[in-house]
Structure 1
């Protein structure tokens, strides 16, 4: 198999349930990197929440890349944007009105922080702040500048609350935006053009890599855009949701069983 780029989701894929990259997974990805294969972390997380894993995998060269914010940004390892698909002030006002109508906790992500006009910070946003290493800025509506550009809008709450909010989202949201979930306590909304699949496709073009030379690993619904691209070689984690497994070329072991290393040994290293 002639693979030149390997894209890996983070939570539930690269990371085990302890939020760690296992030794076997690290060694397998570093081995692939030494073979000249690009290793691209591909996550709903912002860049600060991804960069530490670039460092851990020794992918510090400026010609290494990440897909962040569910595909709203592709950046090199130094944080320089390569591809951008952002939302604006009108989008913010639109979602803020929906949040008020649905009594939902709402926030946005810019490149280096969360912004919310909710003066109550719930547990789920606090957890995201910790996981992504990004601070939370609380402000009033009048403090939001009309030239603002942001990567992602998010609703957060309990799993039951998010199922209820998702059912009540106006049809216009589903039609005009890319709506996904990486966690049952979050609803993530990007530009319609922003998805992990589109971002990877654009990055591969810029690197002169054919789509059938791209291998992807994922486990959650926000990975489905990668699994929808016909020529990508698609590997579902053993812990993946059914929609991902149904679209996969290969189902590997779980994230707690070194699933990435297991698949690479068989599919790339021919062992």
Structure 2
């Protein structure tokens, strides 16, 4: 019997327009009405994750920044796994050696160590790897790009970064080439005390070694008194692997997921554009009530 449904946001719950379809919300509410707990498990920070489900009234728990922070449905922080100062310094140094610029996710804001041009380049690379292709000039004119660029705090040094906030949950690097991202992931994976993941083949996501989606979800459900077999987890990207590889009762990959993600999951549902989360919940409820 599934008693907890955990789901990623981008590429899983959300469509290409980064919103939740009304049909998907209907099935999420149907699950809640049957006493099933719902958990968002996202690479986004908590503030950005909450925006897309604002007003949904679903009593959600939140696992954000790839598992670095967990918040219960009452808004109480359950667990935080920030990066250590030593890890932050080593990740910054490794990225610099590979001529790449990380964006640092703090509790309140995102930061870039360097110059304004470094922040713009890092963000432009993120937009250049989207399914919709834009030229550099088109990217600069996008309202979303300008809004996100304004939100990045640029600091001159790593020491200045560490004075800005006490907690840093995640570093994100987007590379111009897949091969460059793969080499950087390999280099960072050799660093002690960190976990390395990715959303796409072009990016690198670094957190504390204990901040991963799967272990964070496991800690939360055990706190609630559930076992792994009572959990269904849904995801689509490489940073969902730690969740879909665990022996939860049902691990579900989206049809739009990379082959590697589908291979580790027990089931595959429809794509996010075909409301795959809604379909999976509908099928689950039908089996449990049949």
Q: Same fold (TM over 0.5)?
A: yes
Residue 158 in structure 1 maps to residue 176 in structure 2: yes
Unaligned runs of 5+ in 1: none
Q: Which string of whole-angstrom CA distances, capped at 9 and with x for unpartnered residues, describes residues 98-144 of structure 1? A: 1221110112111221121121213553668x599793111122423
CA distance in 1 between counterparts of 2:156 and 2:238 reads 33
Q: Which residue of 1 aligns with 2:68?
A: 72
Q: Which residue of 1 aligns with 2:85?
A: 89
SS of alignment partner, residue 52 of structure 1: helix
Q: Which string of whole-angstrom CA distances, capped at 9 and with x for unpartnered residues, describes residues 181-221 of structure 1? A: 01334210111111100000010011111111110101111
Shift of 1:150: 1.0
SS of alignment partner, residue 166 of structure 1: helix
TM-score, length-normalised on structure 2? 0.83
- Note if contact 1:46-1:69 (Cα within 8 Å) is conserved in structure 2: yes
Change (3 A) 1:67 1:264: same
Q: Which residue of 1 aligns with 2:136?
A: none
TM-score, length-normalised on structure 1? 0.88
Q: 1:217 aligns with which of 234, 243, 257?
A: 234
Residue 125 in structure 1 maps to residue 123 in structure 2: yes
Q: 1:250 aligns with which of 253, 267, 271?
A: 267
Q: Which string of whole-angstrom CA distances, capped at 9 and with x for unpartnered residues, describes residues 51-109 of structure 1? A: 123324322x4xx3111000011113464321111112222211121122111011211
CA distance in 1 between counterparts of 2:179 and 2:104 reads 18
CA distance in 1 between counterparts of 2:269 and 2:68 reads 28
Residue 109 in structure 1 maps to residue 105 in structure 2: yes
Unaligned runs of 5+ in 2: 128-143
Q: Which residue of 2 aligns with 1:179?
A: 196
Q: Which residue of 2 aligns with 1:195?
A: 212
Change (3 A) 1:170 1:199: closer
- Note if contact 1:88-1:148 (Cα within 8 Å) is conserved in structure 2: no
CA distance in 1 between counterparts of 2:8 and 2:56 reads 14
- State which drifts further: 144-153 or 201-210: 144-153
Q: Which residue of 2 aligns with 1:148?
A: 166
- State which drifts further: 113-122 or 220-229: 113-122
Q: Which residue of 2 aligns with 1:37?
A: 36
CA distance in 1 between counterparts of 2:49 and 2:162 reads 27
Q: Which string of whole-angstrom CA distances, capped at 9 and with x for unpartnered residues, describes residues 12-34 of structure 1? A: 10011121211211111111112
Change (3 A) 1:6 1:123: farther
CA distance in 2 between counterparts of 1:229 and 1:54 reads 26
Aligned length: 266
- State which drifts further: 65-74 or 136-145: 136-145
CA distance in 2 between counterparts of 1:161 and 1:108 reads 22
CA distance in 1 between counterparts of 2:98 and 2:234 reads 35
Change (3 A) 1:211 1:108: same
SS of alignment partner, residue 13 of structure 2: coil
SS of alignment partner, residue 273 of structure 2: helix
CA distance in 2 between counterparts of 1:171 and 1:53 reads 32
